[in-house]
Amino acid sequence: MDPTTAAAAASPSSTTSCRPRLYVHGIPGAYRDSRWDRFHMNAEPFGEKVAGAAFLPGFPASVKLWNSGQFSTAELMFQRALSHGCRTDNASIADLFFVPAYSGALRASPVSPGENCVVRVPEERVSGSALIDRLRGVPAAACNGRNALRRGPPLAASSGEGNDGAADSSPCSVLEARGGADHILVNPRNGAYFESHPFAELDYLDPRLGAALRLAIEEPARGRWEWFDHYTTNNLYTGVPHVSMVHLEHDQLAAAPWRVQHERPQLIVGAFGIHGSRTVQRLRSALRRSCQAAASSDCFFLVASDVTNHNRSRRFSWEGRYEEGQRSASTIQAKRLQPELAPDDDPMWITTAKLYWNSTFCLQPPGDAVSRKGVADSLVMGCIPVQFHEGMPYQWPWHWGEWVHESSVLLDWNHVLQGKLDVVEKLRSIPADKVAAMQRVIAHNAHRIHYSRESLAGIPPGPGESHAGRVDSEHDVDAFDIILRRAWARARNESVVRAGHKTQRHDGLAVQEVADTLRREPLEMTGYCGHASGSIGDCSRRDGSGRLGVIVEQAKKLWPNESKRSLHIASVDACAEYCRSRCETCRYISYSLVTQTCEWYAQCNTSILGLHARDYSLWHTFRTREVPRENDFE
């Protein structure tokens, strides 16, 4: 039985006193990463667990540490949504709608929504509009004068209870009733443009979703951030924290690790590899050199080896200049307090936990992107994050924005690279009272970064408590509770709703028209003819080919300025028309909205169309169409 179906039978009954009421769409498991995918893509939120007190001095005895994957936010939120105390299986009274469709795997290139067909397994073909159709198949209690955008038979009448408004005579879906503003989608990755279409059925940026809340583990750049590569988040996303290595249960809240006061014998630790863009590698190398040049009691650094330990990530080995006989008394004390520290034997996440628990400052340089899982891990372990990119303090504004500057240190990465800043000396010079103040802020607020193991909203209220009072308790909320609060407030913002309706009515309708065209194409023509020329191509060659850019919108002019090196095709039919009227040797077109491409060919063997992936693209989602010409019938 599918997890959504199985959980539905046990879903808690919702009442008006429990808000926001959360509805989980019944999306089949094929729309999510499989267990194998989660294991190999570092996307399992609750992997291996160990008792932290077994190797961390002073760690709460009842609390476990978890090997939580870097890209596991979507899977964790899905599990939390299924067990949420305010979950309802009655869509007509729901305040929010969770869409359990996500993937951490990189399977596609940049996206244009409304793709046609993808071959997931040989016997199963899934339409790119199938997910949208499923969401539109859930009727709304009231439509606020909005007509349905869906194709096919009309929606069934809603039999829900507790309508917040009068029912409209024109039925629409819950996706359209409020312009998608009350829907939540989670991208488990950073939300870069090329990560927004993990498979042909799912496009996080699809305008048919309207103003849906799109979550990712990185906050988009606000203003002019200096960055080192192309790995930047799309502006439609809202950044939420990475999943950390701590997941408390309701009876462990008083023993949260970030609130424990204990001796931290190490001043600074760094646990990261030397990878990323050239500038990032230079920064990380400079931090390593600075750490290695300091006394080992001041700074320990671990560098990634080439040895992997299945999905428990990379092993590490110590980097230091001190031989055993030259170690200082403070170093020996640090070693005694970490009696099981064995980086050559421990998996990375356990070694990292030991380091973060025993250190005051944790170095957190950027990597492939601005945000780091290490920041969330260091905060829940009570270690002060030291950041180096101007965009890092802007991450996770709903969860960290109000207290980030009082709980972290931001150093100028340019000064580090230019040799103007000694990181170890700078951190050593911070007054003890300021360090203690930062630690108190973390102790008071780190629950906002942490995702608990179970829904706190579902805990039965104590004597004299209501559900609302329980959830509003200062330290009972976790990162998931904050997301639901913010999402509900956003869903009630009428300007967001109006923007969602406008997007669905304009861009969404254009995408739907293209998707409808693709549905009418014969399935046997799935695939591409060959490797077309990267430019428009030479239409005078009998073996010619070329590539045109596809734009999913109703263009005012079919053909852009002739002086441009590329043409933008507004629809599949426009691509075929170009073939007929503008290119004398064109006989076939292969097109895909996933890759925003229409290719033309003079020759094509349609019996062996290409289906394999190339260049991280869903080229097997291409369709090929033979374009008849007048002289073909002579």
Q: Looking at residue 304, what is its pLDDT? A: 55
CA distance 613 to 632: 33
Q: How many CA atoms lie within 13 A of 603 on its CB side?
A: 5
Q: What pairing do the DSSP bridges indicate for beta strands 237-239 and 213-216? A: parallel
Q: Looking at residue 456, what is its pLDDT? A: 56
| Cβ partners under 8 Å of residue 494, min gap 6 | none
Q: Write down the H helix ranges in 464-559.
A: 467-471, 479-491, 494-503, 509-519
Query: Residue 498 is which amino acid?
Result: R
151 is written with which tokens?
Answer: 């194709």
Q: Looking at residue 623, what is its pLDDT? A: 67
Asked if 42 and 311 touch (Cβ cutoff 8 Å), the reply is: yes
Give the strands of the sheet with 623-626, arranged side by side.
Answer: 568-569, 545-550, 597-601, 588-592, 623-626
Asked if 333 and 295 touch (Cβ cutoff 8 Å), the reply is: no
Q: Looking at residue 231, what is its pLDDT? A: 80
Residues linked to residue 64 through DSSP beta bridges, in sequence order: 51
Closest residue by Cα to residue 601 from 610, 583, 588: 588
Q: What pairing do the DSSP bridges indicate for beta strands 64-66 and 49-51? A: antiparallel
Largest CA distance in the chain: 95
Query: Residue 484 is which amino acid?
Result: L
Q: Looking at residue 583, what is its pLDDT? A: 83
Closest residue by Cα to residue 77 from 94, 99, 56: 99
600 membership: H or E segment, kind and range: strand 597-601
Which sign does the torsion angle of CA 147, 200, 546, 609 carry? negative
Domains, the chain, in order of start with CATH, read 44-245+455-515 (no CATH), 258-446 (3.40.50), 524-633 (no CATH)
Q: Looking at residue 340, what is its pLDDT? A: 45
Residues linked to residue 318 through DSSP beta bridges, in sequence order: 302
CA distance 343 to 304: 10
278 membership: H or E segment, kind and range: helix 278-293
Closest residue by Cα to residue 185 from 259, 261, 101: 101
Q: Along the chain (634 residues), what's the average pLDDT of each consecutive run of 10 residues?
A: 44 64 91 77 82 88 92 94 93 96 63 34 49 91 60 37 36 93 96 77 86 95 76 91 92 88 92 86 92 86 50 32 38 39 66 91 93 96 96 95 96 94 96 97 94 65 40 67 96 96 87 69 68 76 75 40 45 77 84 69 79 44 68 39
Q: Looking at residue 396, what is its pLDDT? A: 96
CA distance 392 to 408: 10
CA dist list (Å): 245 to 348, 376, 545: 12, 8, 52
Q: Looking at residue 152, what is its pLDDT? A: 38
Q: Looking at residue 106, what is its pLDDT? A: 60
CA distance 366 to 284: 9
Which bin fits 34, alpha (ψ -120 to 50), beta or left (φ > 0)? Answer: beta
At 238 the three-state DSSP class reads strand
Question: What spatial distance separates the first Cα and last Cα of the chain, rounded to whole Å?
Answer: 58
